[in-house]
Chain A
Amino acid sequence: MLASLNARALVLSLVLLAVFLGLWEAASPKQQLAGELTEYELLMGGAEPKAAVPPPSDVIAKAWEELSNPFYDAGPNDKGIGIQIGYSLYRVLSGYFLAAAIAIPVGFLIGMSPLMYKALDPFIQVLRPISPLAWMPLALFVIQDSQASAIFVIFICSIWPMLINTAFGVAGVRKDWVNVARTHELGPLKTAWIVILPAAAPTILTGMRISIGIAWLVIVAAEMLVGGTGIGYYVWNEWNNLDLTSVVFSILMIGVVGMLLDTAFAYCARLVQYQE
């Protein structure tokens, strides 16, 4: 019992994983060898009257196959998982950073000026609860480009948490610190740079972290709609191909990439954290 909490948690996680995979494997019907199937059975996806969720062993085999060659490109219907995730990340990050470039300055303005806060608040309150996908038809019509429309949808969904958190963080900077800036005759730009930005940075970073999470949730749905490329399209395409092994594998990949994005932002948030 001398092992650290982390080590014990790791052992428990592995045990839970093994139990889960074991139950899943046991619950999956055994596939017959292809040679024993009639042609009709092959077309129907096996001997069972209904196609079943593939067992984990199949998914692991599929993952190995896909991950060992992630960047192949064999036409529009058959690209490696790496290429698909790459497309998704490109859309997410470009929409996201576009949103940050607008949300953070505007959030600063709203946070600094009660007038701007009151004037812009009704717009924010109406626009914020709109599901980002509801913008899609309008975006497709106005932009006339499915790729750019997907980026716009990411932009519009990730702007709100960053905007609101920035405004909140800036408005909440302790008066003492603002007074330090005033008594040292710092100009508005220097005050923003030396005092307000570092003071509000942890709150702003929290907003950015929430936004990247939402953006990654939304991109999957958006790509299912616009099609062509990306991890969302990949999931939907494999569903149309009735390749459930690939569907399960891509679901896992979506989770892993989302986790990595969140970890990266959590790390950045630690860099700007300060203790009072």
Chain B
Amino acid sequence: MSKPFLSLQNLTKRFQAPKGGEALTVFENVNLGIEKGEFVCIIGHSGCGKSTILNILAGLDEPTEGAVIMNGKEVSGPSLDRGIVFQNYSLLPWLSALKNVTFAVQARYKSWSKKQVHDHSMKYLEMVGLAGGAELRKPSQLSGGMRQRVSIARAFAIQPELLLLDEPFGALDALTRGSIQDELIRIWSGSDQTVFMITHDVDEAILLADRILLMTNGPYARVAESVQVDIPRPRERANIIHHSDYYDIRNHLVEFLATRSKALAGKQEEGTPSEPSIVRFGAHGVVSGPKDNRKPATSPVE
């Protein structure tokens, strides 16, 4: 087995119950591999531990058991190799949009001159459509969409190997979300960035992702399925819905969220395969994972 760029090995998170009760297991034995340059979305109901997984990948949280290996090295603690975009933007409100990016670039490239840092930051701000004066404003003087653009520019500007997006468009209206999704995919296409993104939006996941991971409900949540999105790129918001696979995938996802996320939930028996079953549609036919024999994967559209 060739080693993937990023692998999650037997990742488990438990929270100690107060007063010595039984610990709450959020998720257990999550095993995943992500290749370099892949765009992966993860979908699941609230409380299944998606954000905890992302925080562990970021190094902001620690797993109770298991490990995250990136580039052959175990992740411990936050690093500039992993950039993060949070739902609430996490911009420093006393700095201008530009300064919010330059301090990060300065932290990444310590030897750069002021001008290099400034030009590099401006390049990324321009990429997300923030220039011509807007970059000098404080976050409180920007709209939610513009703030998220700054946050995305900051994450890309430090050129991390892995980009973690925690529901980046959750707080935005549909129109703004659409245009920033387009920008995100444009910037990502021009780089060899690996992206791991949490979302609640099925359409967003299909538009953006190479692969969509589906999590069951917690406690004892796990990544049950990995849905391959083989719709060719570049994908256009207007055309993608006409692709023959689109509704197959969409129905599969919606149906997972509606029923199977609950049906598959709960503690697994010993010996159950811990890798998610692989689901493919279209030209490749419906293929289930080698170790999986559960019904949903073999007939995704019921």
Contact = CB atoms under 8 A, between A and B. Distances in A.
Interface string B137-173: 0101000000000000000001000000000000000
A177 B107 CA distance: 15
Contacts of A201: 94
A30 interface: no
Contacts of A184: 80, 103-104, 107-108, 158
Nearest to A176: B90
A181 B295 CA distance: 46
B92 A275 contact: no
A179 B90 contact: yes
A183 B94 contact: no
Contacts of A183: 58-60, 78-80, 82-84
B60 A177 contact: no
Contacts of B79: 183, 185
B86 interface: yes
Nearest to A194: B103
B93 interface: yes
A8 interface: no
Contacts of B94: 198-199, 201, 272, 274
Contacts, number: 55
A180 B93 contact: no
A276 B93 contact: yes
Nearest to A184: B107
Q: At the interface, is chain A mostly helix, strand, loop or mixed?
A: helix
B138 A275 contact: yes
A121 B213 CA distance: 49
Contact of A180 (B80, B90, B140): B90
A201 B94 CA distance: 10
Contacts of B108: 184
B140 A275 contact: yes
Nearest to A179: B60
B93 to A, nearest CB: 5
Nearest to A201: B94
B79 to A, nearest CB: 6
B138 A274 contact: yes
Contacts of B181: none
Interface in B75-133: 77-80, 82-84, 86, 88, 90, 92-95, 103-104, 107-108
Interface residues of A, number: 19
Given A177-B90, A185-B78, A199-B92, 4 more contacts: A179-B78, A180-B90, A201-B94, A274-B94
Query: Chain A CB within 10 Å — which of B82, B83, B92, B140 has the most?
Result: B92
28 contacts: A176-B86, A176-B90, A177-B92, A179-B84, A180-B92, A182-B59, A182-B77, A183-B59, A183-B60, A183-B82, A183-B83, A183-B84, A185-B80, A194-B92, A194-B103, A195-B92, A198-B92, A198-B94, A198-B95, A199-B92, A199-B94, A201-B94, A272-B94, A274-B93, A274-B140, A275-B140, A276-B93, A276-B140
A201 B96 CA distance: 17
Chain B's interface size range is 20 to 34
A184 B107 CA distance: 6
Query: Chain A CB within 10 Å — which of B60, B83, B94, B103 has the most?
Result: B94
Interface in A173-204: 176-177, 179-180, 182-186, 190, 194-195, 198-199, 201
Interface of A: 176-177, 179-180, 182-186, 190, 194-195, 198-199, 201, 272, 274-276
A186 B140 contact: no
A177 B58 CA distance: 15
Contacts of A194: 92, 103
Interface string B8-50: 0000000000000000000000000000000000000000000
A176 B88 contact: yes
B100 to A, nearest CB: 9
B212 to A, nearest CB: 25
Contacts of B158: 184
A195 B95 CA distance: 10
Query: Chain A CB within 10 Å — which of B79, B88, B90 has the most?
Result: B90
A275 B91 CA distance: 12
A186 B93 contact: no
Nearest to A272: B94
Interface in B231-258: none
B51 to A, nearest CB: 12
Contacts of A186: 107
Nearest to B81: A185
Contacts of A182: 59-60, 77-78
A121 to B, nearest CB: 24
A176 B151 CA distance: 13
